[in-house]
Chain A
Amino acid sequence: GAVVSQHPSWVICKSGTSVKIECRSLDFQATTMFWYRQFPKQSLMLMATSNEGSKATYEQGVEKDKFLINHASLTLSTLTVTSAHPEDSSFYICSAPYDRGREDTQYFGPGTRLTVL
């Protein structure tokens, strides 16, 4: 089946530094990928839609200059949290849609736990 990976699985950084998270579709191509953020005991919240070869589309309230998204290829999207602060500590998950004929579904990465000290 379709597999989406994320790297790193967890990261701890100091306040003010930047952190890059990678999302890869391992056995299929994804022109679109999605980035979510999930706080403890909360549902996933869509942050942005990553589009291969064009600019990402950000959800309302998400700062595009703080969360930089680059969809460099059909199998790789990156999310860079710039000048991270403790309130950015969260679980970041990406997903990619995979068309299985009649049914399209989202395949999620395993997530990246970001802790900003």
Chain B
Amino acid sequence: KNQVEQSPQSLIILEGKNCTLQCNYTVSPFSNLRWYKQDTGRGPVSLTIMTFSENTKSNGRYTATLDADTKQSSLHITASQLSDSASYICVVSEGSYIPTFGRGTSLIVHP
């Protein structure tokens, strides 16, 4: 069964600090991995998408890494801002458009 596990479940950091979120998956065959940011009560918004051959992808202060051998990905947030407070969801697809979702990491940035 395809699974996507995210850690930590929740994280609290101070504004301006960096943080790293983890995603481990067992989806096979692998097509792509996406990180989404979901504000409370809103739909997810895409941050990054990586295919098998890509190791890193950046989007502003967000940098995602992918190790397809170990089936692990991370999302690094640099110089966090209050607006970064949200749920971050790792989504892995196996080729079709139907993805497998992680349960998300809830990030709270305190001033």
Contact = CB atoms under 8 A, between A and B. Distances in A.
Interface of A: 4, 6, 32, 34, 41-46, 49, 91, 93, 95, 97, 102-111, 113
Interface of B: 32, 34, 36, 41-46, 49, 51, 89, 91, 97-99, 101-104, 106
Contacts of B45: 108
A102 B44 CA distance: 21
B101 A44 contact: yes
By CB atoms of chain B within 10 A, which of A41, A43, A93 has the most? A43
Contacts of A43: 89, 101-104
A83 B89 CA distance: 32
24 contacts: A4-B43, A41-B106, A43-B89, A43-B102, A43-B103, A44-B44, A44-B89, A44-B101, A46-B98, A46-B99, A91-B41, A97-B97, A102-B51, A103-B32, A103-B49, A103-B51, A104-B32, A104-B97, A106-B34, A107-B46, A108-B43, A108-B45, A109-B43, A111-B43
Contacts of B103: 42-43
Contacts of B91: 106
Given A43-B101, A91-B41, 11 more contacts: A32-B97, A34-B97, A44-B44, A49-B98, A95-B43, A97-B97, A106-B34, A108-B36, A108-B45, A110-B42, A111-B42
B41 A111 contact: yes
A44 to B, nearest CB: 5
A56 to B, nearest CB: 13
